[in-house]
Amino acid sequence: MGEVVYPVPTGWDQAALVDAQAYEAMYQRSIEAPEAFWNDAAHRLDWIRPFTRVKETSFHEPDFGIAWFADGTLNLTANALDRHLERNGDRVAILWEPDDPSEPHREITYNELHADVCRFANLLKARGIGRGDRVTIYLPMVPEAAVAMLACARIGAIHSIVFAGFSPDALAGRIIDCDSRIVVTADEGLRGGKRVPLKANVDDALRQCPGVETVVVLRRTGALVGAVDGRDIDWHEGVALQSSDCDIEEMNAEDPLFILYTSGSTGKPKGVLHTTGGYAVWASITHQYVFDYHPGQIYWCAADIGWVTGHSYVVYGPLINGATTVMFEGVPNFPDPSRFWQVVDKFGVEIFYGAPTALRALMREGDDWVRRTNRKSLRLLGSVGEPINPEAWEWYYRVVGEERCPIVDTWWQTETGGIMITPLPGATDLKPGSASRPFFGVKPALVDNDGKEVMGAGEGCLVMTDSWPGQMRTVWGDHDRFFQTYFSTFEGMYFTGDGCRRDADGYYWITGRIDDVINVSGHRMGTAEIESALVAHSKVAESAVVGMPHDIKGQGIYAFVTTNVEVTPDEALRKELIQWVRQEIGPIATPDVIQFAPALPKTRSGKIMRRILRKIGENDVTNLGDTSTLADPSVVDNLLANRRQLT
Ligand code: WT7
């Protein structure tokens, strides 16, 4: 079958910032002369003290280290806010759409956002928070989340956002790991008409966190929540006393900006640390070129600020570029499956950036929900977080974008800070399902299991052979884990954890994770985390978790559970365990299947043979491979006999 290719639409090649020729030239320069390229590119920011050093990076021991623009100083909110005020202070910075469409939306100008950020920054200072302190933010999708982030950046504090869907335990773990003395939250969150008890979760979490001195509580729903004297303060009462001026803190380019916890294949979630200068360059330059952003356009990234996509493409990238960024509190199918496209029409959104899992869910509801909306304002569509299957791609292209809008399928990771492999809308012919070509300065390579580079067309593990400005700098509190996780598998290379194919045109096709990480609805889950939640239950002896194909979520969670001998597994226990995992981690970790197994397949040395479990999860059991090294091969027969039949 011939491959489908959608050429750059007529008009786009001329109107866009970069056409095919310009992409080739700029890409070549970025690879051959990275110092010169990034020296120029970094001038998109306002620096307080200009940098003289550009790139000081090594992926090799003994001089392993990553630094960009290291002797420059700047402040990120000065770049995201202050510098826009003189000419564009009245431009809308944030267009906020609430969960319930009958509630009024909010328009916050750059002037207003600046004042709000200064007031909140002053409140933080009044509570003793300053340079280098960690601030945990556990907020729903409200403008105050952006205010809190930018206020931290203004005073040099490091924010750590915890997704508001995480459980009290998960929240506590993250507060403890980075030793925050302050938590910013809301009384409740609202999503799809449902209330999320955020303040109650914080109260619960803080029983494990004696170091927290301050809790700032935003009133969102007005629900009655408890207040601890001396510790809890009401957001609005707190900021009312504060001045709307706050000096910026002069930060070094390599000073930390934020920590964001993400799951890996082993252990507890890692605190991915991003620093100031390189991250700001990366978030803003990718936002500008990938979305072909022109000032004045209405841009909407539908991600939650609890994930890196929200950090880089709801808040930092767009605001540094002076954009109008839409922030949506709700979900795609509430009150009905037209919701996204109604918001597009309401605000005249030109650029929409969303996740395949949402598209697949909407696709299932039928085209009519889309067709009854206008969508003429849309000119560009984006996809992020997981592979987009060609069927969903075609639907997005034909039904949502009416064959008028290029789709940018953007591959990147929490660790990369921003987009790495992506089409540029005026430059790249599109192939559905391929993230296509590397962004400027990105040097991808494919290696086989022995670390030998695969040249030309072929398949292998996706690595990066050189640094880019947006790269994470360390794992909070564990620099050795940073090196071990990303740079020890293949000597001198950053290992992404993804498998990938490169075709004859040099297009990259991500095939998915090759480690014990699964991607559920675009959310990254370590199987080890779910396993440790399960074994924490008193009736569970052992557990192994693998991914399984899922029509909407991309991957679902398939858990094998061995109970303690005196326990008889039944339907009630299955339900109890599902509830348990939701409580331990959060609803995003809800197992789709729990299969009780008297034993797990182990080698004689006691190692679980995950390969077999993965095959069962994938319902691909005709060839389980070599099982001769199993201590007890009959275990497999039981697993097969009781496996969940996937339709
Ligand atoms: C993992 C990173 C991208 C920021 C949000 C998720 C998968 C991401 C794509 C894509 C295929 C993708 C990878 C990656 N992934 N984007 N366009 N095509 N796979 O960030 O939670 O750090 O997850 O998401 O497997 O490693 P994350």
Determine if ligand 1 sits within 6 Å of the CB of residue 496: yes
Closest ligand 1 atom number to CA of residue 419: 3
Helix runs in 308-376, H state only? 308-310, 317-320, 339-347, 356-364, 368-371
522 Cα nearest atom in ligand 1: 6
Could you give the 3-state DSSP secondary structure of residue 92? strand
Among 263-267, 372-376, 412-416, name the one with the lowest average pLDDT: 263-267
385 lines ligand 1 (CB under 6 A): yes
Compute the distance from residue 392 Cα to the ligand 1 centre, in Å: 17
In the beta sheet, which residues pair with residue 298? 324
- Cβ–Cβ < 8 Å for 582, 559: no
Per-residue pLDDT band for 477 (boundaries 50, 70, 90) equals very high
CB of 498 within 6 A of ligand 1: the answer is: yes
Q: What's the gap in Å between 555 CA and the centre of ligand 1? A: 13
Q: Which residues of 580-596 are buried (b: 16+ CB within 10 A; e: fewer)?
A: bbbebbbebbebbbbbb
State if residue 422 touches ligand 1 by the CB under 6 angstroms criterion. Answer: no
Alpha-carbon distance of 594 to 147, in angstroms, equals 41
Share of the chain above pLDDT 70, in %: 99
Q: Is 387 in the pocket of ligand 1 (CB under 6 A)?
A: yes
Q: Which atom of ligand 1 is nearest to the CA of 412?
A: 3
Nearest to 264 by CA among 581, 553, 479, 513: 513
Q: Is 371 annotated as a binding residue?
A: no
Q: Residue 86 contacts by C-beta under 8 Å, 6 or more apart in sequence?
A: none
* Residue whose CB lies within 8 A of the most ligand 1 atoms, among 286, 411, 485, 507, for a mutation test: 411
pLDDT of 23 strictly over 70:
yes
Answer whether 308 contacts ligand 1 (Cβ < 6 A).
yes
Is the shortest distance between the CB of 312 and ligand 1 below 6 Å?
no
Residue 44 amino acid letter: R
Tell whether ligand 1 has an atom less than 6 A from the beta carbon of residue 537. no
Give 247 Cα–ligand 1 centroid separation in angstroms.
37
| Spatial distance between the Cα atoms of 562 and 572, rounded to a whole number of angstroms | 15
Ligand 1 binding pocket includes 309 (Cβ within 6 Å): yes
For 262-317, how does the pLDDT look when each residue is reduced to its tens digit (9 = 90+)? 998 888 899 999 999 999 999 999 999 999 999 999 999 999 999 999 999 999 99
pLDDT, averaged across the chain: 96
Residue 633 φ then ψ, to 5°: -60, -20
Asked if residue 238 has pLDDT above 70, the reply is yes
Based on C-alpha coordinates, what's the Rg of the chain? 24
Q: What's the one-letter identity of residue 53?
A: R
DSSP line for 364-420 = HT-THHHHTS--TT--EEEEESSPPPHHHHHHIIIIISTTTS-EEEEB--GGGSS--
* Ligand 1 atom nearest 513 alpha carbon: 25
Rounded CA-CA distance 39/47 in Å is: 12
Can you spell out the DSSP letters for 110-149?
Answer: HHHHHHHHHHHHHHHHHTT--TT-EEEEE--SSHHHHHHH
Task: Kindly report the protein residue whose alpha carbon is nearest to atom 14 of ligand 1.
Answer: 413
d(CA 366, CA 344): 18
Question: Identity (one letter) of the amino acid at 178?
Answer: C
Atom of ligand 1 nearest to the CA of 411: 17
Going along the chain from its start, the domains and CATH numbers come out as 12-502 (3.40.50.12780), 521-642 (3.30.300.30)
Of all protein residues, whose CA lies closest to atom 19 belonging to ligand 1?
386
Q: Which residues, in sequence order, are CB contacts of 191 under 8 Å at separation 6+?
A: 99, 140, 329, 330, 331, 334
What separation in Å is there between the alpha carbon of 461 and the centre of ligand 1? 15
Give the model's confidence band at 13: pLDDT under 50 very low, under 70 low, under 90 confident, else very high: confident
Q: What is the pLDDT of residue 646?
A: 59
Q: Rounded distance, CA 332 to CA 318, Å? A: 22
Flag whether 114 is marked binding: no
DSSP 8-state secondary structure symbol assigned to residue 44: G
What SS3 state is found at 180?
A: coil
Q: What is the pLDDT, as a whole number, of residue 527?
A: 93
Distance CA(67)–CA(467), nearest Å, equals 9
Cα dihedral across residues 66, 72, 77, 79: positive or negative: negative
Higher pLDDT: 48 or 15? It is 48
How high is the pLDDT of residue 52? Answer: 98
ipTM (interface pTM): 0.99
203 lines ligand 1 (CB under 6 A): no
The two structure tokens encoding residue 277:
């200068």
Pocket-testing residue among 409, 421, 510, ligand 1, by greatest number of atoms within 8 A of Cβ:
510
**What is the amino acid identity at position 133?**
D
Q: How many whole angstroms from 192 Cα to the centroid of ligand 1? A: 25
pLDDT per position as a tens digit, 553-606: 999 999 999 999 999 999 999 999 999 999 999 999 999 999 999 999 998 888
The average pLDDT across 165-174 equals 96
Gap from CA of 412 to ligand 1 centroid (Å): 5
Rounded average pLDDT over 477-487: 97
The sign of the torsion formed by the CA atoms of 637, 638, 639, 641 equals: positive
Which protein residue has the closest C-alpha to ligand 1 atom 5? Answer: 385
Indicate if ligand 1 lies below 6 Å from the C-beta of 357: no
pTM: 0.95
What confidence category does residue 423 fall into, taking pLDDT thresholds of 50, 70 and 90? very high
- Give the integer Cα–Cα distance in Å for 170 and 190: 20
pLDDT digits (tens, 9 = 90+) for 428-460: 999 999 999 999 999 999 999 999 999 999 999
Position 631 scores a pLDDT of 87
Which tokens in the block code for residue 396?
A: 């997005």
| Ligand 1 pocket, mutate which of 259, 313, 384, 421 (most atoms under 8 A from CB) | 384
Q: Which of 324, 269, 267, 314 is nearest to 294 (CA)?
A: 324
> What distances in angstroms separate CA 57 from CA 54, 99, 258, one per listed residue?
10, 44, 20
Closest CA to 328 of 314, 308, 318: 314
**Ligand 1 atom 8 nearest Cα:** 385
198, pLDDT greater than 60 = yes
Q: DSSP state, 631?
A: S
Residue 519 Cβ inside 6 Å of ligand 1? The answer reads yes
For residue 524, the ligand 1 atom closest to its alpha carbon is 21
CA-proximal residue: ligand 1, atom 11 (nearest): 387
Cα(618) to ligand 1 centroid in Å equals 20
Q: Which of 525, 524, 528, 499 is nearest to 514 (CA)?
A: 499
Nearest-atom index, ligand 1, CA of 523: 21
Residue identifier of the C-alpha nearest atom 23 of ligand 1: 413
Q: Is the pLDDT of residue 71 over 60?
A: yes
User: Distance between CA atoms of 11 and 13, rounded to whole angstroms?
Assistant: 5
47 is in an annotated binding site: no
Interval between CA 386 and ligand 1 midpoint (Å): 5
Task: Give the CB-side neighbour count of residue 300, counting CA atoms within 13 A.
Answer: 26
pLDDT at 2 over 70: no
What is the CA(496)–ligand 1 centre distance, in A?
A: 10
